[in-house]
Amino acid sequence: MKKAESKPPQADLWTRWVGWLERNAATAFLLPTVLVILAFVLFPLVGALYSSLARLRFSDGGLELSFVGLANYRKLLLGSEQGHFLGRPGTTDWVLGVLALMALALGVVMYRRWRARRPFSVWLVQPLLGGLLLMAFTWLLLSRLLPGTHMGTLQTTLFYVTVGTALQYLLGLGLALLCAERLPGTRFFRILFILPLAITPIGVAYMFRMLTDTGKGPLVPLWEALGLGGFSWVNDPWGARLAVLIGDVWQWTPFAFIVLLAALQSVPQEQIEAAAVDGASRWQVFRHIIFPHLLPASATLVLIRLIEGFKIVDLPNILTNGGPGTATESITLHAYFAWRTLDIGTAAALGFLLMLLVSLVTSLYAAWVLPRARGQL
Amino acid sequence: MSRPRSPLAPSPWQVGLTYLALGLASLFVLFPLYWLLITSFKLPVDVNSGPFYLPWVDFKPSLHAWEYVLGTLGPDVQRAYANTAVVALSSALLALFLGTSAAYALTRFQYRPRVGAIVLFIACLVLTVALVALGMPWPSAVGLGLAGFILGLQTLGKRFRKHLGNDEIALWLISNRILPPVVVVIPIYLLFQQLGLLDTRTALIISYTVINVPIAVWLMRDYFQNIPQDIEECAQIDGASRYRIFWTIVLPLAAPGLVATFLLLLVFAWNEYLLALFLSKANSQTMPLMVAAMSGTRGTEWWYMSAIILLMILPVVILALVLERYIERGLIVGAVKG
C-alpha cells in the first residue's frame, strides 16, 4: 500500500490505462477493422439494395428514381432478360437421365438417414433443400450445353470461375514448388512470375486484345501454320471464352503463386529431411508433408479467387465486348452494360443475384471445404 | 571422386526438367510483356500493318510514344503517378495494419458475437433507413438508430444466449467483397460527396483500405496459424503485454506472409480502376485511368498505352525486387530452437 501511495498519481493512471488495454486486448485488436468496414460498407449496401428495387426515369426536372418493387428481379428471372441471364435451355434424354440418377441418389440418402432414426431436419429438410438446389443447378448448366441452346451470363461466369480458379491454383502451385527448390536463378523466376499482377486489369485486357488480334496480332503466323488462317476466334463462342480464360489465368496465377510461395517457407524442413532419409519418394514427400501443410493457405486463396472471379468484367468487356452475341458476357459485365444504359435497377438486381449465388457458394465452401482443409474435421 | 548426393538434392534429370518447366512458364509470362515493350517503340504504321516482331529487323524503333507520354503528357502523368503511389502505399499500409491485427485477434482470441445483437443491429439499421425514407435528416436518423442499438444492447443484450464464432466473423469480413463494384459505385459516390471528399486522395485511400482489409485478414490468418504459440506463451509468462508480443514477436515471425500480403494489397490498390473513375476528376486521377484514357475518340492508341502500362509496372517491379528476399524461410526455425 505504501508503495502505491508513493507513486505520483499520473503513473497510477498510466498503469491503470495499460491494465485496461491489456484486459481488452481482444476488442482492441478486432474492433477498428469492424468499425471501419461497417462505417463505409453499410450505406453503399443499403443504397444499392434500394436501387435494385427502383427504376431510373426521365422526368420534367431530369432524372427520377421511382420504386418498382421486385420488377427488376422478375424481369431477370422470368421476363424479357431471362434468356440473357439464365440462357435458353434444350432438353434431351441424357440430361433427364442425369437428373433422374441424382433424384435416385437423393432418395437413397434420405431413406438411409430415416432408417438410422436421425432427427427430422437431418433426414428430410436438409437433403431435400440441398438436393433440389443441386439438381436445379445441374439442369441450369447441362441444359445450356446442348447444341442449339444458348448460355446465359450465369453459365458463362460459372465457366470462367471454376475453370479459371482451378487452372490458376494448379499452375501457381506448380510454379511455387519449382521456385521453392533452392536452385540457382529461382530468385529471377520469383520476380518474373509476380509481374502479371503488376499490370492493371484493364491494361491486361487491352494487351490481350493486341495479342489475339486476328489481323496484326503476333500469333497470326502460328494460326496460319496450324491451318486456322481463316478462322476467327472472335466469331466462335468457345474460342472467345477461351481467350478470356487465358487472359484471366495469365493475370491471376501469380496470386496463387505468391501466396503458396510464402506458405511453403514454413514447411517443417526436419520432417522432409527425415522422410528423405527414410527413403520416401519426392511424390510421397509432397503428398504427405508439403501438401497438407499448404492446405489452409490453399483453401483461403481458392475462396478469395472464387469470390473475385465471379466479378470478372474488364477482360470480356475490352477483349470481346461480351461477344460474339453474349457468349463471353459475365454477370458483372451484364450489369455493367445495363448500368451504362442508365438501367441502374437491373444492374443492382444482377449484383444482388450474384451476391446471393456467391454467398451460397461461399457458405457451402465454408461448411465443407474450410474445416477439412484446416484439419478441424 | 564426387561427393555422394544428399537424399534431398534433386537428380540432374529433375534439375533439367525443373528448368524446362520454369522456362516454358517464363515464355508464357514474358511474351505478352515483350509485345508491350516493342509496341511502345513502334510507329502507328508499324502497329497497324501487320505483326512485326524484332526491332531494327522488322521495323525501325521510334521514341515517339515515350516522347509524347513523358513530354506532352508529362505533367498529367507525373500527377497521376504521384497520386497512385501515395494512394496505393497508404492504403496498403493501413489495410495491412488493420488486417494483421484483426487476423491476429481471430487466431488468438475466441469471440462470441451474439445472434441477438446482430439481429438488433439489423433492426436498428432498418429503422434508420425507414426514418430517412420518411424525411428525417440523415445525421439525426443515424444518431437515433445508433442510440437505439446501444440502448437495446445494454438492456436486452444479456438475454440472448445463441452466439457465433470467429469463423463467422471472418466470413462476414470477406463477404463484403462479394458485391461487384459497378453496383455500389453510385452510393459510394454519394457517400463521399456527403463527406466532401470527392476528387481527393483521402477518398481513394479510405475506399481501397476498406475493400482490401478482408483480403489482408484472410491471408494473414493462415500465416499466424502456422506460428507456434509456445513462443508467445513464454513471452506472456515473462510479463510482456499482448501488444508487445504482437509487435516484437509475432510480426517478425510472420515476415514472409506480411511481405507477400503487402505486395498483393499494394498491387490491388495500384491497379484499381472503377472506383478511381468515379471518385476522382482531375486532382486525384490515378494511372489506371490514364491507361484507359489512351483508348478514346481517336481509337486505341496502342503505342501510348503500352508506354503507360510499362511505366506503371516499373515501380512494382522495383518494390518486388527489394521485398522478395523477405519471402524466405528460416526465421521460425531459429526462434524455436533458440
Identify all chain A residues contacting B217, using CB atoms and an 8 Å cutoff. 33
Are residues B139 and B106 part of one domain? no
Are residues B191 and B281 part of one domain? yes
Residue A106 exposure: Cα atoms within 13 Å on the Cβ side: 18
Reported as a single tens digit per residue, the pLDDT across B122-151 is 999 989 888 888 888 888 888 899 998 888
Are residues B157 and B267 part of one domain? no
* CB–CB contact B312 A203 (8 Å): yes
> Grid coordinates 458483372 are at which residue?
A332
Reported as a single tens digit per residue, the pLDDT across B81-118 is 999 999 999 999 999 999 999 999 999 899 988 888 88
Are residues B270 and B158 part of one domain? no
Task: Inform me whether the pLDDT recorded for A166 exceeds 90.
Answer: yes
Q: Give the residue ranges of DSSP H helices in chain B.
A: 12-39, 44-48, 64-67, 74-108, 115-133, 138-155, 166-175, 181-194, 201-225, 230-237, 242-245, 251-253, 255-271, 274-279, 287-293, 302-323, 331-337
Residue after which a domain boundary falls, among B98, B131, B163: B163
Domain count, chain B: 2
Are residues B122 and B257 part of one domain? no
Residues 6+ apart with CB under 8 A from A148: A90
The cell numbers describing B45, all together, are: 504504321
Residue A103 Rama label (left phi>0; alpha psi -120 to 50; beta): alpha
Identify all chain B residues contacting A185, using CB atoms and an 8 Å cutoff. 19
Are residues B268 and B126 part of one domain? no
Cα distance between residue B103 and residue B170, in whole Å: 9
Interface test with B, best of A20, A154, A265 (most B CBs within 10 A): A265
For residue B173, being part of any structural domain is answered with no
Are residues B300 and B288 part of one domain? yes
* CATH code, domain carrying B283: 1.10.3720.10
* CB–CB contact A46 B187 (8 Å): yes
Task: Inform me whether the pLDDT recorded for B226 exceeds 80.
Answer: no
Reported as a single tens digit per residue, the pLDDT across A80-92 is 888 888 888 877 7
For residue B151, being part of any structural domain is answered with yes
Q: Does B101 touch chain A (CB under 8 A)?
A: yes
Q: What is the DSSP string of A250-288?
A: HHHHHHHHHHHHHHHTTS-HHHHHHHHHTT--HHHHIII
Reported as a single tens digit per residue, the pLDDT across B275-323 is 888 888 888 888 888 888 888 777 788 888 888 899 988 888 888 888 8
* CB–CB contact B256 A210 (8 Å): no
Are residues B321 and B263 part of one domain? yes
Are residues B259 and B323 part of one domain? yes
Residue A176 near residue A265 (C-beta atoms within 8 A): no
Question: What's the whole-number average pLDDT of chain B?
Answer: 85
Q: Name the least confident of A122-136, A150-164, B19-33.
A: A122-136
Are residues B189 and B159 part of one domain? no
For residue B27, being part of any structural domain is answered with no
For residue B185, being part of any structural domain is answered with yes
ipTM greater than 0.90:
no
For residue B16, being part of any structural domain is answered with no
| Nearest C-alpha in A relative to B126 | A46
- The residues that bridge with A62 in the sheet, in sequence order, are A59
Are residues B87 and B149 part of one domain? no
Domain housing B319: 63-111+181-337
**A324 upstream amide cis, omega within 30 of 0:** yes
Task: Inform me whether the pLDDT recorded for B331 exceeds 50.
Answer: no
Residue A261 near residue A176 (C-beta atoms within 8 A): yes
Are residues B267 and B195 part of one domain? yes
> CB-based burial of residue B113 (10 Å sphere; 0-12 exposed, 13-18 middle, 19+ buried)?
middle
Q: Does B209 touch chain A (CB under 8 A)?
A: yes
Nearest Cα to Cα of residue B221 among B108, B111, B328: B108
